Each structure stands twice: as C-alpha cells, then as structure tokens.
Amino acid sequence: MSLSRLIETQASRLEALTRLLTQEQELLLAGQVEGTALEQLAADKQALLESLEATEKSRLSVQRRLGYTADAEGSRQAAEDAGCLEEWQTMLELAQQTARQNQRNGRLISVRTQHNRQMLDYLQSIVEARPYTAKGRQRGGEGQLNASA
C-alpha cells in the first residue's frame, strides 16, 4: 500500500475513533449511564485502536523502506516527497483532536467515578449509623449499655 493511501486510512480511522469518543461523551454526560452501550463503545474503540496501530506500523515500514527515518521529520519529508504533505498534516491534526477528546472523556469518567465513590461512602455511612439490622435486631458495638455493670 502506498504511503498516501496509508495516511488516508489512518485519517479515516481517526475520524471514526473521534465519532466513537463523541458518542462516549454523550453517554457519560447523560443522567443515566448505559453500561451496555459504554461496553460496546469500549470494544469498538479497542478494535479501532488496534487497526490504527497496525496501519501506523505499515506506514513506518513503507517510510523506512523508502529510506526515510522513523521520526517526525522523516515522516514529514516522506509525505512531502510522496505528494501527500497536506494529508499528513490533516492526519496529525485529527490525531491531536482525538487525543484531546479522549482526555476529556477520561476526566468525565474520573468525575463520575469520584461521584459514585462518594455516593457509596454516604450510603455506607447511613447503613452503619442505623441502630438496628434489617432483621430488627439491635446492632452491637458502640451505644449499647453494659448490663453487667
């Protein structure tokens, strides 16, 4: 596959990944989080990431085979010489946008996780503060009178 075609493939996959990240963000911002939908998105994202990685390895292999270094300058020069510098720059911008979207989603997940943890801690404190068990028996421990005294 040509360098130009590999860059186009990468850009297309990055666009698809960005769409998935946008869907994920919408689900995370919804009042009720749909776990099944998030699981499916995670699987779809993983598959796209794997295909992106495979395409990147192929692109670097072609680049090296053409005599360019595997660094950023070699990538830019190879794209320029192949007549696809504009596509390369567009793909880099897409990669940056996708990374920013992924970071935003990571922060949303972190906030949701923290909120859930606080809610669980609050519920646990309510349960522990109740003087009676679910069976109506008095809980042991603090607050009980010692009848043997």
Q: What is the CATH number of the domain that holds 53?
A: 1.20.58.300
Report the percent of the chain where pLDDT is more than 70. Answer: 91
Which residues share a beta bridge with 132?
138
In a domain, 60, yes or no: yes
The lowest-confidence range among 41-45, 59-63, 85-89, 122-126 is: 122-126
In a domain, 18, yes or no: yes
Domain count, the chain: 1
Q: How far is CA 24 from CA 64, 108, 112, 115, 124, in A?
A: 36, 10, 13, 18, 30
The lowest-confidence range among 76-80, 101-105, 124-128 is: 124-128
If you average pLDDT over residues 111-129, what whole number do you get?
A: 84
- Of 39, 15, 17, nearest to 27 by C-alpha is 39
State residue 119 phi and psi, 5-degree precision: -65, -40
Determine the Cα–Cα distance for residues 78 and 88; give it in Å rounded to an integer.
10
In a domain, 138, yes or no: no
In a domain, 79, yes or no: yes
Give me the chain's average pLDDT, please.
Answer: 88
